[in-house]
Each structure stands twice: as structure tokens, then as C-alpha cells.
Amino acid sequence: MKEKSKLKKFLSSFYLDKKLAKYDAEACIVWTQQLVKNKIIKKQQAEILIDALKKIKNKPEKIKKSEDIHFALEVTLEKMLKENKNLAGIIRTARSRNDLVVSDERMFIKEEIVLIVKLLKNVIESIINLSIKNIDVAMVGYTHLQPAQPVLFSHYILSFAWWFIRDIERFKDCYKRVDVSVLGSAAFAGSSFEVDRKEVARKLKFMEISQNSVDSVSDRDFIAEFIFCCATVMMHMSRIAEEFILWSSPNFGYIKLPKELTSGSSIMPQKQNPDYLELVRGKATKVYCDLLGILVLMKNLPLTYNRDMQEDKVYLFSSVEVVKDCLDIIRLVFDNVILNVEKMKNDLLKYDFILSTEIANFLVEKLNLSYKEAHRKVRQLIEYSLKVNKKLTELNYKDYQSVINISSNMFDELKDRLSIEKVGCRYKTFGGSSISEVKRQIKKLKSLLIKLC
């Protein structure tokens, strides 16, 4: 059969798993120490081996290319050890690539979770800062992209912070299930050598140890869970991106992105497009695909190890990269976005029918109507206002009387209450749109960040 190099390339995972080099070296160091205890290798020999492994760990980029990172490390060791090259073959004892790769992946994910949580924390802090700086700015709140009710900008964007708090919580729950040592499970059955797996786990800084060797090498749910955590972060960022893309369109015009976070056109000289946010939005797709990928990959797979599982790293590494890159961008957006408070105010006045709920609430309170009746009355009022071509806040007492039977005192009280910029601050329920609630949330968020990160 010809085509050897093509075949070799097809099988190789080195282009992927070289990313795991330092973890692989670390695992091999601890493993060698264990083999000394079991007298598989002599202390002096182990020292030579460990010395070489440490060098590799510190310069993983020097590893020779091979079928995969594990063989690559072995080959590199052989080259380094020269006359002692036989030592390299010792570390295979009582161990398989099956348990080694899972060990590497778990060490990798643990580090990445710490990094991602840090980035999430940064984003939350940026949101809090933006919220504090604009704590009393009111804007139109939308449902169905239709003006709905006035709302505090600060309250609105704090909702994103809560999304990311939950994302952190999820990553931390996931971490518990990743932080489990599998080394010593060997091919899948364990080994007839006496290996102290607990000591190995402790030295590799794993909190737990896997209970079943078959499970250890066969399952990849810890990767799926990690990617799922990334996917919800991306879902959240895709929505923030969408919102900010809308708001930076001049038709909304509530925000302006700094030039550094926009990009021009080769044909249209006027353009400053929100390309960064569009890419964040688009890249959410990728992590969704990665989640699907790991799940579909594992579906129907008989135990224990099958080579299909080599592809797990395709999805794992992609997710990690995308989520970290995008978190950086989103933080920069929150740090640098410029608010157009005047446009926000203008739109509040322009779409003053968003006060309808407030009027209905007032009618319930004062006239003892059921909310359904009050709702109907206000609906009539709006139809009336459209007919006479007035805005809702322009309706006078007479206008009101043609629809609702209220006293002039009540009317005055209502008018007083309908100051559009203030309505958005008056949702006094717990967690509602009001300055005091925003302040409470910020305090709570800050204490959670200390607790979680």
C-alpha cells in the first residue's frame, strides 16, 4: 500500500494534543516517582528521567512530532537521554495512553476554568462600573423589539451580570467533576502493579480520584459539561452583542462604539461597523457546534476506548479559545462604550405610550378596577390618542374624561406620576428597576464575586 504519509497524517493527533504537552510531562514526572516506589525504576535512573521531563515541561515547544503527544514525549525523551534512551520506555509501565490523555485533559480544563472565571469576573466588574457611572439614566425597555416600559439603563445591563454569575457557578460545579484523577486506570482495567493512585492524584493536585477504571477511560462527560458551560456563556454574549448592535444602529442610537471596536468598508467611506460584536455573535455558533460535536461523537460508542474519542480535543480546544477571545472583546465593549443619554431621553418622550402600564396600575389603585378592566380602559385611551393625534402625555383632563371617569384631582395626581424619566426608577419590588435596587444588586454582585472567584 502506498500513501504512507497520508495515512500517517490522518491518524495523527499531534497537531491537536501538543497543546497538552506540559500536562503530559507533569503526569509522567509524577508517574516516574511512583515507579520508583514500586521499584520498577531505580532512584538514580528516575532522576535522569525526571530531569529530562522537567526540561520538556518548561519548553513544550521543543517536543518532536509524532503520532500523538504521548509518543512524541517518549521519542523526545529518547533523543535527550541518548545512551540512557531505554529509560524512556519505562514510563509506559502500568499506564496507557487511555488514562494518560484523560489526565492531561483534566489538568488542562482545570487551568482553563480558572482563566475563564477570571475573564467572566472582569466582564462583571466592567458591567458594574458602567452601571454605576450611569446609575440614574432611564431608557425605553423593549419586549418584542417594541417599546414596552421605561427602565433604568443600569438595571437593564445588570441583568447581564447575573447571567455571568450563573455561568461562573456552572463552571465551578463543573470543576468539581473535572478535578478527579484517573491515572493508574491503565487501558481500562487497572493494573496488576501496585500503584498508589491516591498519592499520584495528590501530587498532580487532584482533589478526587476516580472510582472505576473502566469509567475513567471511557467517559467524556466532563468535557461535554465544560463545553456546555462555554456554550451558555456564548449564548449570553450573543444576546449582548445583538442588543449592542441594535443600539449602535443610528435608528436606535443609544450607544456609540469606539472606533477601535468598529471596522470600515472598502467601498463605503462613511462606515463604522460593529464587526467585533458581530463576530462575537457569530462565534457563539461555533461553541454550540462544539457542544453538539462532543455529544454526537460519544453517542452509541461501545466501551471502552475507541479512536473516535481522539476528536474530543477538536471540540474542547475550539471552545476554550472562542470563549476566552470573546470575553475579552465583550469586556472591552463595556469598558469603552459611549452612551447617548440624550437619544435615550428623546425616545422615552417619543414613545410615551410605554407609560400605559403605569396608568393602568393607577386606575387599579384608585378606581378599584380589576387589572383586566384597567387594561381595557387604557387601551381605549391609546386609541383615542391616536385618533386625536396626541401623545399619551399630551392628553388633558377632558381627553381622559371621554374615556375614563376620573376626578380632576386624580388626573393631577396621575400626571404627576407620569414623569417618564422617573417611572423607570420607581419599580420598587425586589429586583425591580429602581436606583435603590440597582445599588443593592451591585453590593450583592460584589460580595458574590469575592465568594466565587
How far from 193 is each of 40, 93, 185, CA to CA, in Å?
9, 9, 11
Could you tell me the smallest distance in angstroms from the CB atom of residue 396 to a second copy?
19
Q: How many CB atoms within 10 Å of residue 405?
A: 9
Using DSSP's 3-state secondary structure scheme, residue 424 falls into coil
If one asks whether residue 311 binds a second copy (CB under 8 A), the answer comes out as yes
User: Which one, 59 or 115, has the nearer CB to a second copy?
Assistant: 115
User: Which one, 134 or 191, has the nearer CB to a second copy?
Assistant: 191
What distance in Å separates the CA atoms of residue 93 and residue 140, rounded to the nearest whole number?
A: 67
What distance in Å separates the CA atoms of residue 167 and residue 219, rounded to the nearest whole number?
A: 24
If one asks whether residue 306 binds a second copy (CB under 8 A), the answer comes out as yes
If one asks whether residue 260 binds a second copy (CB under 8 A), the answer comes out as yes
If one asks whether residue 447 binds a second copy (CB under 8 A), the answer comes out as no
Phi, psi angle pair for 141, to nearest 5°: -95, 140
Could you tell me the smallest distance in angstroms from the CB atom of residue 390 to a second copy?
14
What distance in Å separates the CA atoms of residue 369 and residue 411, rounded to the nearest whole number?
A: 16
What distance in Å separates the CA atoms of residue 124 and residue 445, rounded to the nearest whole number?
A: 8
If one asks whether residue 261 binds a second copy (CB under 8 A), the answer comes out as yes
If one asks whether residue 286 binds a second copy (CB under 8 A), the answer comes out as yes
Binding letters toward a second copy, positions 238-257, x by CB under 8 A: xx-xxx-xx-xxxxx-----
Interaction residues for a second copy, span 379-408 (CB under 8 A)? 379, 381-382, 392
Interaction residues for a second copy, span 5-34 (CB under 8 A)? 6-7, 10-11
- Asked about 66 being catalytic, the answer comes back as no
> Which DSSP state fits 152?
E
What distance in Å separates the CA atoms of residue 368 and residue 360, rounded to the nearest whole number?
A: 11
User: Which one, 147 or 413, has the nearer CB to a second copy?
Assistant: 147
Angle at 281 between CA 277 and CA 285, to 5 degrees: 155
Could you tell me the smallest distance in angstroms from the CB atom of residue 295 to a second copy?
5
- The HSE-up count of residue 194 (CA atoms within 13 Å, CB side) is 4
Interaction residues for a second copy, span 37-76 (CB under 8 A)? 40, 67, 70-71, 74
How far from 200 is each of 37, 191, 196, CA to CA, in Å?
11, 14, 6
- Number of residues counted as binding a second copy (CB under 8 A): 187
Mention every residue, 6+ apart, whose C-beta is less than 8 A from residue 438: 131, 135, 152, 154, 155, 158
- Asked about 159 being catalytic, the answer comes back as no
- Indicate which single residue of 117, 354, 404, 449 sits in contact with a second copy (rule: CB under 8 A): 354
Interaction residues for a second copy, span 96-155 (CB under 8 A)? 96-98, 141-151, 155
Q: Per the residue annotation, which of 5, 96, 126, 144 is the catalytic one?
A: 144
Could you tell me the smallest distance in angstroms from the CB atom of residue 381 to a second copy?
8
The residue range among 19-27, 58-66, 331-339, 400-408 that interacts with a second copy, by the rule CB under 8 A, is 331-339
> Which DSSP state fits 211?
S
CB 331 within 8 A of CB 126: yes
Could you tell me the smallest distance in angstroms from the CB atom of residue 55 to a second copy?
20
If one asks whether residue 291 binds a second copy (CB under 8 A), the answer comes out as yes
Q: Per the residue annotation, which of 70, 216, 238, 265 is the catalytic one?
A: 265
If one asks whether residue 302 binds a second copy (CB under 8 A), the answer comes out as yes
Q: For the CA atoms of the chain, what is the radius of gyration?
A: 30
Find the helix or strand (DSSP H, E) in which 338 lies. Answer: strand 338-339
User: Which one, 5 or 409, has the nearer CB to a second copy?
Assistant: 5
- Indicate which single residue of 18, 281, 330, 411 sits in contact with a second copy (rule: CB under 8 A): 281
Interaction residues for a second copy, span 171-200 (CB under 8 A)? 173, 176-177, 184-195, 197-198
Could you tell me the smallest distance in angstroms from the CB atom of residue 238 to a second copy?
5
If one asks whether residue 334 binds a second copy (CB under 8 A), the answer comes out as no
If one asks whether residue 276 binds a second copy (CB under 8 A), the answer comes out as yes
Q: How many CB atoms within 10 Å of residue 65?
A: 12
What distance in Å separates the CA atoms of residue 79 and residue 110, rounded to the nearest whole number?
A: 31
If one asks whether residue 81 binds a second copy (CB under 8 A), the answer comes out as no
Mind giving me the DSSP string for 356-373?
HHHHHHHHHHHH---HHH
User: Which one, 409 or 429, has the nearer CB to a second copy?
Assistant: 429
CB 343 within 8 A of CB 254: yes
Active site residues: 144, 265
